[in-house]
Amino acid sequence: MSEGFLKEDLYKQLGATIIFSQRIIKNFLKYKKGNLILISSIQGISTPKFDHYKNTKMNSPIEYSAIKSGIISVSKYLAKYYKQKNIRVNCVSPGGIKSGQPKLFSKRYKNSCNSKGLLEGEDVAKLILFLLSEKSKYITGQNLILDDGWSL
């Protein structure tokens, strides 16, 4: 990994999340309310299961885990910083999303889960819709993990 690539990747994923959050919260303050949901990953709470990647062309680079744990930290920081400003900040950390992964990887991944294995985008969307709804109005500063038991 080159130093230049690392800097670029950290900025594009973590730095851009911070700048986006800053800009959206500025509008929330103007309207005296807001609900920000950031997206991280289970690899922000746990190390990769490297055996899942064995004999595939896939890998999980170290900066990915660092970035995703950083996004969780940013969520908690912002939730606490804007406490009592009618602004909620939460994070969703999904497991792997089905996207043409090799069968070998998918099988290994599913063996680490409860039943489904790799998620569909719709699974994550349903959780985000819940967080955007009034049903979750007292949830803030949380990292909600949606991973079919992968992290257990």
Q: Assess contact for 40 and 72: CB atoms under 8 A.
A: yes
For the record, the structure tokens of 57 come out as 């062309």
- Of 74, 71, 91, 87, nearest to 26 by C-alpha is 87
* Active-site annotation holder among 31, 64, 81, 109: 64
Told to judge if 64 belongs to the known catalytic residues of this protein, a careful annotator would answer yes
Partners of 14 in the β-ladder:
none
**Residues taking part in catalysis:** 64
